[in-house]
Structure 1
Amino acid sequence: MATETPRTGGVLARLARFCYRRRRLVLMTWIVGVIVVAFAGFGYGAASDNDFSGGDSGSAKAQALLEKHFPEQQGDTLTLAIKAEKGIDDPATRRKIEKVIADLAASSITGPVTSPYQDESLVTKDRRIARTTIPLTKKEATKAEVKPLVAEVKDASGDGVTLGLGGERAEKAETPGPGPAESVGVLAAAVILFIAFGSLVAMGLPIVTALLSILGGIGLMKLVGYVFPSPDFTVILAAMVGLGVGIDYALFIVTRYKDSLQGGDEPESAAVKAITTAGRAVLFAGTTVVIALLGLVVMGQRLMTGVAIATSVIVLVAMMAAVTLLPAFLGFTGRKISLLRLPRRTSRRRGADRSGERRSPAERWAGVVQRRPLVAAISAGAVLLVLAAPTLSMRLSLPDASVQPHDRSSYTSYKVVSEGFGPGYGAPLIFATRRDSKDADLRSVVGAVGKTSGIAYVTQPRVSKDGQAATFMAFPKTGYQDAATTDLVHRLRDDVLPKAPGGAGVYVGGPNAGTIDYAEEVGSRLPLMIAVVIALSLVLLIALVRSVTIALQAAVMNLLSIGAAYGVIVAVVQWGWLGSALGFPAAMPITTWVPMMMFPVLFGLSMDYEVFLISRVREEYERTGDTRMAVTRGLARTAKVITAAAAIMIAVFTTSLLGPDVAVKQGGLGMAVAVLVDASIVRMILVPAVMELCGKANWWMPGRRTPNAPSTAQAVSPIGS
């Protein structure tokens, strides 16, 4: 390996030197800053916003009419579902049911409750199943306020009576917190780092740096929420991404620092070299992730813009910690970074090249791939395409009670109501239209809707108090997550309503139709977001590696690995393959925001590994002028650190499967699969095979001659291990 001279000038060198020498000041500034930001963010930050409605869809127009003309119907409600083996009229059963209803009505956050004994429409014909609605008088009732109601209903079940409390607020109230997932991720990362570095001190630096950056980043993210609101899953998602990139970025820099020490550099010089080489690549990689995340802005959805901004804040803080806080830590450790070492057995490395130089396993593997590059490329590409194939059948939706764990009260409510009143009771369609007077007639529209195949029954129309709007409800025969329900909504909009007298101005809304419209809006805008992310990332990668060919290779390979991840989550989540073993209660469509969020995150992370690998390959090529040797050595010198970084990412993302949120679990599973595929099939097979096939064309750049000899005039920042 050529001897490097660290850059003594430049912004990064001056920054690294300042942070190293003034390490106490830098550390105290970080600690105080994190405490202040965390206190402000966690104590006074913006509340989550889970309202995905809006836009110009039919459901959005229906919701606007309902909010304006039927404000009395807009409050949150809970649904009490009752199933009695002896029937609800059994004396003991009736006493239990009436007590539960009375206790729910007596809560400070509920309004008057209509008993099923007072309204026959709330009871099935065999009198074994009943339901009633509990209105919530407090807007945005908190989890702590609703949880006692859920607990009371669950405790009352038994002795032949099954009770369940459903509704969005009930679902949130009984959903446990994140639990041990993040802690397990940190522990797994610590084990991987200890194995990679063989030292407790070196292991601890990336962990501490990442945790401080996450704590400060989440606090700052909550403050930014006042300007860019985001949904409640953002914190978990951002914490996963922040933990992964924070540890990975520190890993690359610490690895470079240790290599410089072993090469004979003094600690300060090693720290400066680590920041000006690996640190520069970290800044570029982090910028790529941020730009990819900001591609979500083109989706035109307020909350997803908030997710993009919030997650970008976490990544930016992780980048700043890597190039400021980490060199300060290195100043404290100095040469002691290898203290508390893991005992290792020494062994002779096997294998050598023709010159007698011993080769690493990664070098020998690269040689195997390069001897049969076409076979390797076709085989790897075929595997990725097979994994991606299920993506063609992907369906998008949002989770409801039917896909929650079966021990939840909200799931019990869904099952009981579906059994007694049909699965469509939990997926009502709400029709709304403007009307000129209270005498306006909607009976022809109601009749047409009621006769439509797939509709179980409809309610009578209601006119608003101001006489300016009317509404009625229709209940499908199929459930919230069924593809048949989506087809029904399209048939009503495209065929039934336009043909019914007065139906042209009727909008189909409600939570079910809103979910369908949201999924279709995401599907229509997703190609634009993908195109924007790829274009911006290509520009950055071309600027770094100075090769159009390699940039295009990276884009195609990243698309293949992300497609494979999409295919796997469709097979597991939607088709149910191994779904129960991985913590998914039932087969379900993919949560609408998951593929939209996965793409920019994964594309940015994949570019991280591309940067770290190709930077080293480029350096070796400019030193030797031999593409094959450059790929072999570049792969060998980055294999260990990229493998460790990928293992950390996989561990962090996989721990989401321990959490309670099925949507976050989908995203975590998909991102873990993508990183695994990217670090194994793509980096270890496709990259060396394709670069071997392209030869000198790898380095093509418009407007200049392809380099064919060693050059010292240009230098690409190396980052290997």
Structure 2
Amino acid sequence: MHDSRQLEEKMMTTEAPRTDGALAGLARFCYRRRRLVLLTWIVGVIAVAFLGFNYAAASDNDYSGGDSDSAKAQALIEKHFPEQQGDTLTLAIKADKGIDDPAARQKIEKVIAELDASPITGPVASPYQDENLVTKDRRIARTTIPLTDKDVPKTEVKPLVELVKVASGDGVTLGLGGDKAEKAETPPQGPAEGVGLLTAAVILFIAFGSLVAMGLPIVTGLMAVLGGVALMKLVGHVVPSPDFTVLVAVLIGLGVGIDYALFILTRYKDSLQDGDEPESATVKAITTAGHAVLFAGTTVMIALLGLIAMGQKMMTGVAIGASVTVLVTMIAAVTLLPAFLGFIGYKINSLRLPRRVSRRSGGDGTPARKRRTPAERWAGVVQRKPLVAAILAGAGLLVLTAPVLSMRLSLPDASVQPHGRSSYTSYKIISEGFGPGYGAPLIFATEVDSRDPELSSVIEAVRRTEGIAYATQPRISRDGQAAIFMAFPKTGYQEEATVDLVHELRDDVLPKAPGGEQVYLGGPNAGAIDFAEDTSSRLPLMITVVIVLSLLLLVVLVRSVTIALQAAVMNVLSIGAAYGVLVAIVQWGWLGSVLGFPTEMPIVTWVPMMMFPLLFGLSMDYEVFLISRVREEYERTGDTRSAVTRGLASTAKVITAAAAIMIAIFTTALLGPDVSVKQIGLGMAVAVLVDATIIRMVLVPAVMELCGKANWWMPGRRTPKATTAAQARAGV
């Protein structure tokens, strides 16, 4: 009787895990040659890190391109106005007694002289020599500071920011704005990742109850992320990526790296508890959980590479860079971790918390009375009323998704900077004195040819347009073949009215003005609008590509079209809910200030585009581990209800721990300075929370209960039959 019960407990699948396949061979090699494998990893990571961090490719944050108006305008400027290639800074001045007050004037002229003397700046115009740079009441002034090179490092700009900050005071407020100034003021990400790792360590310690078991996933994840990020920096020489790619890759790499090691380690511990030797337990863990890890990781990579369908250079770089990091974490999970297990062996539970006797056995080693776990009891509740549970869960997700209907996309500007920064001070002064549109002018560019070089009719038409505060005179290129002029909107960079104004100028004003058909409207403001609209138009294609490719992969793994379709629909629901919560917090301002967002703001253009493939792939991770266990139980018993209950019970602890680790790591992004990374971290944390609770704990058991045997439908294949204990003994 005792032997029969043990046999039934061990019989988790119709077939025992393969011990002669490629994964089994790899696991044995890494276990037996653990010193060689570990040494190879250490040397490899050090070498790649040295090359990657010392010879990293430069970031490419250019979101322009294609055939948009802003891209054409930028191409003309680059061709005919090479002196415009350097970035510019804006010095904003506010004097309580007016800029003509002797003390104020002395301070202002001294600052301007010091900025003009810097080796990284060009000539700085004085507001005392140009009335257009001063407000009518002469309390606020501004001037532009050209930088000599567009690649000036932020370390060289920071002294200029400090100079302005120190000079500000005694009735004169100064602020230095511009993209380079913002980056110079942005501190490093700081302790955010460290906080996430510490939280992950606590979660792992609670889950495993052992310091040794806690440390293995963290060490494996850290080595994988270090190697992956360094390799990503080298790949940037072939496929350039924007500067936020590193932060995204670290968040994703740590999350999946620790989670993948956690899944494998859990199976290893289970095998040891069932009486296997350490080597055999390692092989079983890699051929079961490791196999699922490879499928899950491949799904994440395929989903990420779906970004290439956007056809945008910047997002292609992000997709390749983040995929490289995920690939390295997958390799670490099935090679480095088995080597660590070879060193640890039975000591996996060393340095553990004292615990009560396991429920799996009594004090004398005999099996204890079967007790239903909380997960089993919860599954029973859902399965008794599956339709009610599915409707309530679906309705809740739709409510969370509803704010998506008002989502606005834009790129961040100085208005969303922390209020203590010089760049925000500059923005506020300029907005107060000249209007919010002066921070990001519209730039009109055209080839002159034989047309009126003064562009008088075009400029006059632009000036008469409602929403334009001021337009400059044209500037002719040195070769005489092109001209540019600027116009300043009355509304700010982030406002919907500015978007409407750009469309009015392009669709109505310029076409009606003589010669206006060949005038291109660009600049950072228009470029951001074009990028947002291009992203919105391409997003459905990317979503379709990601869903189709992930579906095909999941069908191969779970061998069921029904379950693959269920997973796709549920993942879309959870991502939609994450989008909705993100809009409510960031755009509507609900709890925004509490979570580190200084003001209400649109969603950063690339965040939804980046979130979808990442979350779709990560959600598939939990689907793979849960459904793999459910399928094992179904093939053993033939009972869907029992299979779902037992599958949920056996994976609840590990999926909960994995989700908690993901949430901990993603929410640490809120501690950093970058609002873009804050948004993606918040959105992903919400999606993982929704996926691990409403999706896995309610919708999955409810929908599978409703589908019954149809869960396992696959064209051309019969529904799997149960394997009895007698058949197992006979080897059937």
- State whether TM-score is above 0.5: yes
Q: Which SS does the other structure have where 2:188 is aligned? A: coil
Equivalent runs, 1:302-321 vs 2, <5 Å:
302-321=313-332
Within the candidate set 620, 639, 653, 2:633 is matched to: 620
Report Cα offsets for 1:485-532 as digits up to 9, x if no partner: 001101111111112222111111000000000001100000000000
Q: Which SS does the other structure have where 2:149 is aligned? A: coil
User: Could you tell me how far 1:135 is from its partner in structure 2?
Assistant: 1.2
Within the candidate set 262, 272, 280, 2:283 is matched to: 272
d(CA) in 2 for partners of 1:319 and 1:348? 33
Within the candidate set 78, 103, 111, 1:100 is matched to: 111
User: Could you tell me how far 1:7 is from its partner in structure 2?
Assistant: 2.2
Q: Which SS does the other structure have where 2:135 is aligned? A: coil
Q: Which SS does the other structure have where 2:10 is aligned? A: coil
Within the candidate set 460, 469, 489, 1:476 is matched to: 489
Equivalent runs, 1:286-685 vs 2, <5 Å:
286-345=297-356, 357-437=370-450, 439-685=452-698
Query: CA 1:460/1:596 → structure 2, altered by over 3 Å: closer, same or farther?
Result: same
Q: Which SS does the other structure have where 1:116 is aligned? A: coil
C-alpha RMSD of matched pairs (Å)? 1.7
Deviates more, 1:498-507 or 1:52-61: 498-507
- Answer whether contact 1:438 1:463 (CA < 8 A) is retained: no
AA aligned to 1:442 is: L
User: Could you tell me how far 1:345 is from its partner in structure 2?
Assistant: 4.5
Query: CA 1:571/1:494 → structure 2, altered by over 3 Å: closer, same or farther?
Result: same
User: Could you tell me how far 1:714 is from its partner in structure 2?
Assistant: 14
Report Cα offsets for 1:420-446 as digits up to 9, x if no partner: 111110121111112213744521111
Q: Does 1:237 align with 2:248?
A: yes
Query: CA 1:179/1:713 → structure 2, altered by over 3 Å: closer, same or farther?
Result: farther
Within the candidate set 269, 272, 284, 2:295 is matched to: 284
User: Could you tell me how far 1:48 is from its partner in structure 2?
Assistant: 0.9
d(CA) in 2 for partners of 1:627 and 1:713? 21
Q: Which SS does the other structure have where 1:504 is aligned? A: helix
User: Could you tell me how far 1:74 is from its partner in structure 2?
Assistant: 2.6
Within the candidate set 258, 261, 268, 1:250 is matched to: 261
AA aligned to 1:86 is: K
Within the candidate set 100, 123, 147, 1:136 is matched to: 147
User: Could you tell me how far 1:342 is from its partner in structure 2?
Assistant: 1.5
Report Cα offsets for 1:71-128 as digits up to 9, x if no partner: 2223211110000101111111111111111111111111211111111111111110
Deviates more, 1:45-54 or 1:365-374: 45-54
User: Could you tell me how far 1:356 is from its partner in structure 2?
Assistant: 7.4
d(CA) in 2 for partners of 1:325 and 1:145? 41
- Answer whether contact 1:622 1:712 (CA < 8 A) is retained: no
AA aligned to 1:74 is: Q
Listed as ranges, the gaps of 5+ residues in structure 1 are 350-354, 716-721
| Map of 2:3 onto structure 1 | none
Equivalent runs, 1:185-204 vs 2, <5 Å:
185-204=196-215
Q: Does 1:207 align with 2:218?
A: yes
Report Cα offsets for 1:250-295 as digits up to 9, x if no partner: 0000100000000000011001110011000000100000000000
| Map of 2:11 onto structure 1 | 3
User: Could you tell me how far 1:712 is from its partner in structure 2?
Assistant: 10
Query: CA 1:519/1:243 → structure 2, altered by over 3 Å: closer, same or farther?
Result: same
Query: CA 1:526/1:137 → structure 2, altered by over 3 Å: closer, same or farther?
Result: same
d(CA) in 1 for partners of 2:333 and 2:725? 29
Within the candidate set 153, 163, 170, 2:181 is matched to: 170
Q: Does 1:33 align with 2:44?
A: yes
Q: Does 1:75 align with 2:86?
A: yes
d(CA) in 1 for partners of 2:319 and 2:445? 34
Q: TM-score, normalised by structure 1?
A: 0.97
Q: Which SS does the other structure have where 2:564 is aligned? A: helix
Structure 1 runs (4+) greater than 6 angstroms displaced: 711-715
Identical amino acids, percent of aligned pairs:
81
| Map of 2:701 onto structure 1 | 688
d(CA) in 2 for partners of 1:361 and 1:544? 28
User: Could you tell me how far 1:8 is from its partner in structure 2?
Assistant: 2.0
User: Could you tell me how far 1:713 is from its partner in structure 2?
Assistant: 14
User: Could you tell me how far 1:35 is from its partner in structure 2?
Assistant: 0.2
AA aligned to 2:19 is: T
User: Could you tell me how far 1:347 is from its partner in structure 2?
Assistant: 8.9
Report Cα offsets for 1:531-586 as digits up to 9, x if no partner: 00000010011111111110000000000000000001111111111111000111
- Answer whether contact 1:621 1:710 (CA < 8 A) is retained: no
Query: CA 1:379/1:714 → structure 2, altered by over 3 Å: closer, same or farther?
Result: farther
User: Could you tell me how far 1:447 is from its partner in structure 2?
Assistant: 1.4
Deviates more, 1:698-707 or 1:235-244: 698-707
AA aligned to 2:324 is: V
d(CA) in 2 for partners of 1:251 and 1:348? 22
AA aligned to 2:629 is: R
- Answer whether contact 2:578 2:686 (CA < 8 A) is retained: yes
Q: Does 1:109 align with 2:117?
A: no
- Answer whether contact 2:224 2:332 (CA < 8 A) is retained: yes
AA aligned to 1:639 is: A
d(CA) in 2 for partners of 1:714 and 1:594? 53
- Answer whether contact 1:257 1:271 (CA < 8 A) is retained: yes
User: Could you tell me how far 1:706 is from its partner in structure 2?
Assistant: 2.6
User: Could you tell me how far 1:709 is from its partner in structure 2?
Assistant: 4.0
- Answer whether contact 1:696 1:708 (CA < 8 A) is retained: no
Deviates more, 1:437-446 or 1:246-255: 437-446
AA aligned to 2:475 is: R
- Answer whether contact 1:437 1:467 (CA < 8 A) is retained: no
| Map of 1:220 onto structure 2 | 231
Q: Which SS does the other structure have where 1:456 is aligned? A: strand
AA aligned to 1:621 is: Y
| Map of 1:718 onto structure 2 | none
AA aligned to 1:652 is: I
Deviates more, 1:525-534 or 1:447-456: 447-456
Aligned positions, number: 710
AA aligned to 1:310 is: G
- Answer whether contact 1:437 1:468 (CA < 8 A) is retained: no
Query: CA 1:712/1:585 → structure 2, altered by over 3 Å: closer, same or farther?
Result: farther
Within the candidate set 152, 164, 180, 2:191 is matched to: 180
Within the candidate set 72, 77, 80, 1:61 is matched to: 72
Query: CA 1:13/1:348 → structure 2, altered by over 3 Å: closer, same or farther?
Result: closer
- Answer whether contact 1:438 1:467 (CA < 8 A) is retained: no
AA aligned to 1:344 is: R
User: Could you tell me how far 1:463 is from its partner in structure 2?
Assistant: 2.5
Listed as ranges, the gaps of 5+ residues in structure 2 are 1-8, 361-367
- Answer whether contact 2:86 2:150 (CA < 8 A) is retained: yes
Q: Does 1:707 align with 2:715?
A: no
Query: CA 1:667/1:387 → structure 2, altered by over 3 Å: closer, same or farther?
Result: same
Report Cα offsets for 1:395-425 as digits up to 9, x if no partner: 1111111111001100000000110111110
- Answer whether contact 1:622 1:711 (CA < 8 A) is retained: no
Q: Which SS does the other structure have where 1:265 is aligned? A: coil
Query: CA 1:465/1:440 → structure 2, altered by over 3 Å: closer, same or farther?
Result: same
Query: CA 1:336/1:132 → structure 2, altered by over 3 Å: closer, same or farther?
Result: same
Deviates more, 1:501-510 or 1:478-487: 501-510
- Answer whether contact 2:10 2:274 (CA < 8 A) is retained: no
